[in-house]
Amino acid sequence: MRYLPLNDKERAEMRGVIGVGAIDDLFRDVPADALNPALDLPDHKSELEVEREMMALARKNNAAGDTAFFVGCGAYRHHVPATVDHIIQRSEFLTAYTPYQPEIAQGTLQYLFEFQTQVAELTGMEIANASMYDGSTAAAEAALMAKRITKRRKVICSGGLHPHYEAVIRTNLELIGDEVVFAPSNPEGQGGLTDMIDEETSCIIVQSPDVFGHLRDLSALADAAHEKGALLVAVVTEAVSFGLLKSPGEQGADIVVGEGQSIGNAINFGGPYVGLFAARDKHRRHMPGRLAGETVDADGKRGYVLTLSTREQHIRREKATSNICTNSGLCALAFTVHMSLLGGTGLRQLAILNHENACKTADALSAISGVELLNDSFFNEFTIRLPKNAEAVVEELARQKILAGVPGGRLWPGNEDLENILIVAATERTTSDDIDRLASGLEQAIKG
């Protein structure tokens, strides 16, 4: 392939077309203090010196594996069997990127097909794809898909939806002129959503368990949405909950999206993750991304093919259902391997362990004077209200090597009503000693 560099005249013509005088004008939305910051770095150091400095910096962190860990809110610390890592690191699998031509690799197509099958069964839906980056982008894609199906341009988001998911949905929809209505975030309940649905609504997006840990019965919302010709989009940020809770599909959801990090994948500093996307079969032509299917060749032998791919790489951009390019293929493979190892019985046992540890943690914390448990139901995550600012308490406990959870002020900065709440998650990795340390430390922090 030839490399054809641009000259100054061509660059000037391009700037003229988009209406900027200089390259720096392209970055005028970036705050001045964040643009080209001066870095206080030495001119050079040896590799050994750099390694020592970096290790010293790394030791300042509280690594998740070194502490009592109760952080969740969409990213959960679960045990990943060593078998998962062993399999995905085989040379035929090891890539951080989805192959652009999976049709040349039967192995890739087969695990994508199996991933889709697992996601469809977990969510209680009829069809699933294998092309989402993560849960938040999957949620935004679901809203766009609902728009294509209903020809409407108004989306309603529950106040229990993770605020980061809200932000991604807002970015994707408001920039194309669609209306997005967000219900207020209330850690004690999310009523009144049915009254917000009207004939202009394309879909209502509801998370369960929601960001505060509440379990939501979606059936009534599904009926209310369908009565107005709208769709119900269910969001699940904790995939392990599928092992114990009634699936969104059984509750009437039309589209189910979620985050699959909890199964087979580590926390990974916030990513890469793996988005889940499932829907009713009648809507398959409106799905974003791609579908791998099973077929037979001319000799009757089983094979796998890319059966539907409406991404912009495969069809004309204006006809594409999505600009989603790829999921994190290796993360999807890790999900598939872990699910295959667990099976239905193993996933249920894992989910029960999570719930039991969360119940023990909630009992221990709610017994502390001044601490109020705000949930009447939860899976492995719940919300407590403290008598003082939760961020300050979390900082104090972090100094004791206890990561106590996610304070409300971090997710909803500036919202004084949520400054004292703390969202606490427990998993199968939570030990009795961890719970005792958290309860003791929290009691002391509140008194202090």
Residues found in the chain: 448
Q: Are 407 and 421 in contact (CB under 8 A)?
A: yes
Using one digit for the tens of pLDDT, what is the confidence trace for 31-67? 988 888 888 888 899 999 999 999 999 998 888 888 9
Q: Looking at 277, 305, 339, which one is the last position of a domain? A: 339
- 305: β partners: 293
SS3 325: coil
Residues 311 and 349 in one domain: no
Residues 276 and 142 in one domain: yes
Q: What is the CATH number of the domain that holds 387?
A: 3.90.1150.10
Q: Looking at 339, 363, 390, which one is the last position of a domain? A: 339
Q: In the prediction, which pLDDT does 104 show?
A: 63
Q: Is the pLDDT of residue 103 over 80?
A: no
Q: Quick check: is 258 in a domain?
A: yes
User: Percent helix, strand, coil in the chain (nearest 5)?
Assistant: 45, 15, 40
Using one digit for the tens of pLDDT, what is the confidence trace for 209-266? 999 999 999 999 999 999 999 999 999 999 999 999 999 999 999 999 999 999 999 9
Using one digit for the tens of pLDDT, what is the confidence trace for 168-183? 999 999 889 999 999 9
Residues 95 and 188 in one domain: yes
Q: What tokens appear for 372 in the block?
A: 């109020």
Q: Quick check: is 46 in a domain?
A: no
**Burial classification of residue 418, based on how many CB atoms lie within 10 Å of its CB (0-12 exposed, 13-18 middle, 19 or more buried):** buried
Domain extent, residue 376, equals 68-78+343-447
**Can you say whether residue 293 is alpha, beta or left, with left for phi > 0 and alpha for psi between -120 and 50 degrees?**
beta
Residues 371 and 242 in one domain: no
Residues 300 and 432 in one domain: no
Q: In the prediction, which pLDDT does 326 show?
A: 60
Q: Quick check: is 421 in a domain?
A: yes
Domain count of the fold of the chain: 2
Q: Looking at 298, 323, 339, which one is the last position of a domain? A: 339
Q: Quick check: is 35 in a domain?
A: no
Q: What is the pTM of this model?
A: 0.88
